[in-house]
Every structure is written in structure tokens, then in C-alpha cells.
Amino acid sequence: MKNHCHRQNKSILAVILLLLSTTGCNAPNTPATHSESRQPAPHHDLPASANEIQPFDYYLLNLSWSPEFCHFHRNAPECAAHPAFVLHGLWPQNRNGSYPQNCSTAPGPSNPEDFSDIYPDPGLLEHEWRTHGTCSGLSPEAFFTLARQAFHSITIPPQLAQIDHQISLPPNQIIQLFHQSNPSLPATSLAISCGNNYLTAVEACLDTHGQPTSCGPIRSCRANTVRITPP
């Protein structure tokens, strides 16, 4: 009796398997399982490439304190005149702390010497265009014209332009000196950079039209005081 039932059960199982194999194509849809093979994912557009203009919120104008810059770049052309500050760059920034870079391979200005007053080193000009200017959405000439206007719009406080010996100041006091010399430049649109407690740069945050704007996440040097060496 057991053998008969066993054979009968096997026959029933075989019929069920046969039915399943012939009706699989019409079976209702069921959730996929990890053991099922999956079709290739549909094609989606790739993220914006490095050659596409990236949106940004504002510019960060970086003015390097020349004694520190020239200490490490003694042969830089801009150091010959011993200025107080030199233009490092005008950099697109976002308020979330990110920033676009290297947005295209477009060539720089056709006549780099037209901007030798702000970038006497053609290599630095090319670097600034390739890394930052290509993300501005401007032509090379328009970008460096804006950089020149931004640079010359900042009045250097006489306390810094005329120092002849090393001094030390809190970062907030340096910001106040710049605000006093530039009343239209709020303290919230300024930041101080330092390295090993030496002043390295003053940064101004400007909107896309070159007007002062809040620096958002940009933080100033946290040193209690920074040393400022004379030009």
C-alpha cells in the first residue's frame, strides 16, 4: 500500500511540474527574487560631465598676502614690486560648501598679456582659467575683466599696506579693518585664511555680479591672533 501511494504521489507531482513548465509564460507577475536573472537596467542619461557648465551660488575672491605667497614663490613675477596683496583667484562657490572645477577644455584668453596687470605669470592665469574660469559661464575675457574689477574694488587698509615690521592681530580685527576701509563690504562677506598662525589671505564673497554677499559656510582662521609679516 505504501509503494502504491508513493508511486501515485510521484505521478501527481510529475503532472504538476509538467503543467507549471507549460504555463510559466502566462504565470502572473511576481516580485523578483535574488535567485532570478534580471534584465539589464534601462539606460539613463549620465551625470553632467566635467565639460558642462555647473551652476554656482557666488564667487570667492582670494587675495593672497604677498609676503607669505612670495616666501614660497620667490621668483614669481608679481613679487618683484613687493605688494601687500596679490590676486590669487576668483572662484565659483556653492553655499553648501561645494564648488565646481575644471568645467570645460575651452581655451583661455587669446591675449593673456591683456591681463598681465593682475596675472603677470601666464601660467597662473592659465591655471585659474582652466580650474575656475571655465565654470563661470563667462568668456575668458569677461571672466578676467570681472576678476580685475573685483580685485581693484577692494581697498587695502593702510594699517596693512604700510606696515614695516611684523605685527599680530586677531582675525576679527583684520576683518574690521577691511570693513572700515570698504564700508560697502559687510564683515559677513569677509574671511581670513592663515597657516601656522601667519596671515595667508583675505577672502571676499561676491555674488555673480561682483557685489558683496554673505560667505555662508566659509570660515575664518580660528587662531587667536595671526602674525602679519611686512611686504
Closest to 115 measured CA to CA, from 95, 87, 93, 91: 87
Which pTM value belongs to this model?
Answer: 0.74
Residue 73 is assigned to a structural domain of this protein? yes
Residue 35 is assigned to a structural domain of this protein? no
pLDDT tens per residue, range 14-67:
433 333 333 343 333 333 322 222 222 222 222 333 445 678 999 999 999 988
Residue 155 is assigned to a structural domain of this protein? yes
Q: What share of the chain is helix, strand, coil (3-state, %, to 5)?
A: 35, 15, 45
Considering its fold, how many domains does the chain have in total? Answer: 1
Residue 41 is assigned to a structural domain of this protein? no
Q: What sign results for the dihedral spanned by CA atoms 220, 138, 85, 200?
A: positive
For 111, phi then psi, to 5°, come to: -130, 85
Rounded CA separation 60/163 (Å): 26
Residue 14 is assigned to a structural domain of this protein? no
Q: Under DSSP, is residue 25 helix (H, G, I), strand (E, B) or coil? A: helix
pLDDT tens per residue, range 134-181:
999 999 999 999 999 999 999 999 999 888 899 999 999 999 999 999
Residue 94 is assigned to a structural domain of this protein? yes
Residue 34 is assigned to a structural domain of this protein? no
pLDDT at 123 over 90: yes
What is the domain range of residue 99?
58-228
Residue 32 is assigned to a structural domain of this protein? no
CATH classification at residue 185 = 3.90.730.10
